Structure 1
Amino acid sequence: MTDPGARLDRERARTGERLARLRRDFLGVVDASRDSNADDEHDPEGATIAFERSQVDALIRQAEAHLAEIDAARERLAAGRYGVCESCGGRIAEERLEARPSARTCVRCA
């Protein structure tokens, strides 16, 4: 069995790194559009700058939510409830926790 605290720490570090990259990407899109006089609404090249900005923003929000889920899992670990399904009270399989360390429910209840 993998140490759940170490697993959560690794997941938090990976997510934090991803979030930092996404924030840099977002700033890059904003900076690139600041000095541009491109017609964002009628760009014949495809996706608009606003669309790209919106996509990156959505990914940032997902990463932030995932960090909150990891922090909640850390709280469950400290309280002795980590790995216990919040729906049925049964054990969450080690394989599920390995794949999704912040899992709140077992596969059956998910």
Structure 2
Amino acid sequence: MSDAFDPRGALERLHREYRQRAEAIRGDLGLLHDSDAVEQAGERQNDDVLHALLAEAEEGLRQVEQALRRLAEGRYGVCRRCGQPVEPARLAALPAAELCLHCAGLER
């Protein structure tokens, strides 16, 4: 059994997870709200949280799609800032990472 990192497989799994998460959140946002004014206020707060979670899922999808493009173009695993290789352990932990550890620290 090989423990070699499979970037395409990891990215495709992440893509499915983000897509499923976004679809579930959109479904929750589409539910009808209670006619009671007090309940509606609580539901609006819940909707705000759901919108924030949806934005996170959509951003994750965008990052994964960019990583898949870099993979197809032969640029996957190359830091977009300095051009050096992104550490393999970083890619294994964050398959869509586009910065090496050093450059990621500079952007904080």
Q: Normalised by the size of structure 1, how large is the TM-score? A: 0.82
2:88 and 2:25 map into 1 onto residues whose CA distance is 30
CA distance in 1, matches of 2:94, 2:66: 13
Q: Distance in 1 between the 2:93 and 2:26 partners?
A: 25
Alignment counterpart, residue 23 of structure 1, candidates 21, 26, 34: 26
Shift of 1:24: 2.0
Q: Measure how far apart 1:50 and its partner are.
A: 1.4
Structure 1 residues without counterparts, runs of 5 or longer: none
Equivalent residue for 2:88, pick from 94, 99, 104: 94
- Return the offset for 1:71: 0.7
- Looking at structure 2, the residues matched to 89 and 40 of structure 1 have their Cα atoms a distance apart, in angstroms, of 53
* Correspondence 1:1-12 to 2 at 5 A: 1-12=4-15
Give 1:38 deviation, angstroms: 2.1
- Matched residue of 1:19: which SS? helix
Gaps of 5+ in 2: none
Aligned with 2:23: secondary structure? Answer: helix
Task: Calculate the aligned-residue CA RMSD, in Å.
Answer: 1.7
Distance 1:25 1:94 in 2: 37
Q: When the two structures are aligned, how many residues end up with a matched partner?
A: 101
Q: TM-score, normalised to structure 2's length? A: 0.83
In the alignment, what sits opposite 1:83? 77
CA offset digits 1:76-104 (Å, max 9, x no partner): 11111100011111111121112211111
> Given residue 23 of structure 1, which amino acid in structure 2 is its aligned partner?
R
The one-letter code sitting in structure 2 at the alignment partner of 1:64 is: E
